Amino acid sequence: MANTRGSKDSERSVRDGILATLPSLRAFAISLSGNVDRADDLVQETLLRALANIDSFEPGTNLPAWLFTILRNLFRSEYRKRRREVEDNDGRFAETLKTHPEQNSRIEFEEFQQALAKLPADQREALILVGASGFSYEETAEICGCAVGTVKSRVNRARVKLAELLSIEGIDDFGPDQASRAVVAGSGR
Amino acid sequence: MNERKSAKSGSKMQLYDATPKHAALNRQIQDRIGQQLRAMYNDVVAQGIPDRFSELLKKLDEQVEDKNQAPQAEEER
């Protein structure tokens, strides 16, 4: 099935696929690390590794999952090395984002991002992959190298923990009223 | 079957599920968390790719061109 002409074409299409996946890959890296510079380093390293190993990708299989796996593994091995360092969330992440009307306020958003950073890495990655990147539980299990049931329970625990961290006692506390109070309270800073 | 098992073991973790009212509240909170997460993520996606990546890719393309001009050893049928 494989021939030299075909393999060159497919390499090109894999390459195009990698490019198309970069924005989402970067969003994953930023959500994982909470640090824009570090995330961009991770994406660059992932890109270089993917291009260097482009032959090992089987065309027709899940390209985004392949790329996310590379980035995830890079992040995790770096994370293990950095374990003893204190949280290095640089706060720049929130600054780079536009404030969406549906986000209510940047304060609320920053709180959310800080809460996300406090989750254990395995829960955080599972929640982002399923809840934002749009991967299925099965794909996420493949990316994280664990069982589907493990992914489900990590996502579950991540959601409960986030609700806890955000001290949500009632939906009103999490709605626009709270957001505008926070804006008023925060405007004096 | 996995779902069943995790639903059972997960019951301890469901903080707000004790009453129907709390269950509804829980759903609202989880919807809100999901929205926040996606808003954050999609905002970054919408930023596209920073210049450093386009530059890097350009450089890599040039390298590939050079490489492709050399005769390829790989023969496969």
Give pLDDT tens digits for A21-75. 999 999 999 999 988 999 999 999 999 999 889 888 888 899 999 999 999 999 9
What are the residue ranges spanned by the domains of chain A?
1-87, 100-189
Query: Would you state the pLDDT for residue B27?
Result: 82
- Residue of chain A whose alpha carbon sits nearest to that of B51: A40
d(CA A118, CA A43) in angstroms, rounded, equals: 22
Q: At what angle do helices A148-165 and B20-46 cross, to 10 degrees?
A: 100
pLDDT digits (tens, 9 = 90+) for B55-64: 888 887 777 6
Dist. CA A140–CA A162, nearest whole Å: 20
Radius of gyration (C-alpha) of chain A in whole angstroms: 19
> Is A100-189 a domain of CATH 3.30.450.40?
no
By Cβ distance, the residue of B2, B6, B49 closest to A22 is B49
Q: Do B10 and A156 touch (CB under 8 A)?
A: yes
Find residues 29-68 of chain B whose CB sits inside 8 Å of chain A: 29-30, 32-50, 52-53, 56-57, 60
Residue B32 CA to residue B11 CA, distance in Å, equals 21
Paired tokens of B47: 């930023």
Q: Is the ipTM of this complex over 0.85?
A: no
pLDDT at B1 over 70: no
Between the alpha carbon of residue A189 and those of residues A24, A75, A183, A186, B77, the distances in Å are 33, 34, 10, 6, 69
Q: Looking at the partner chain, which of B13, B25, B48 has a beta carbon nearest the beta carbon of A170?
A: B25
Do A1-87 and A100-189 share a fold?
no
User: Which CATH architecture fits A1-87?
Assistant: Orthogonal Bundle (1.10)
pLDDT class for B26, splitting at 50, 70, 90?
Answer: confident
Check B74 against A4: CB less than 8 A apart.
yes
- CA triple A123-A49-B62, angle to 5 deg: 140
Provide the residue-wise pLDDT of chain A in tens; the chain has 189 residues: 444 556 677 777 888 899 899 999 999 999 999 889 999 999 999 999 998 898 888 888 999 999 999 999 999 988 777 665 544 555 566 666 655 545 456 777 788 888 999 999 999 999 999 999 999 999 999 999 999 999 999 999 999 999 888 875 444 444 444 444 444 444 443
Whether the CB-CB separation of A189 and A113 falls below 8 Å is answered with no
A48: chain B residues, CB-CB within 8 Å? 56
Nearest chain A CA: its distance from B47 CA (Å): 8
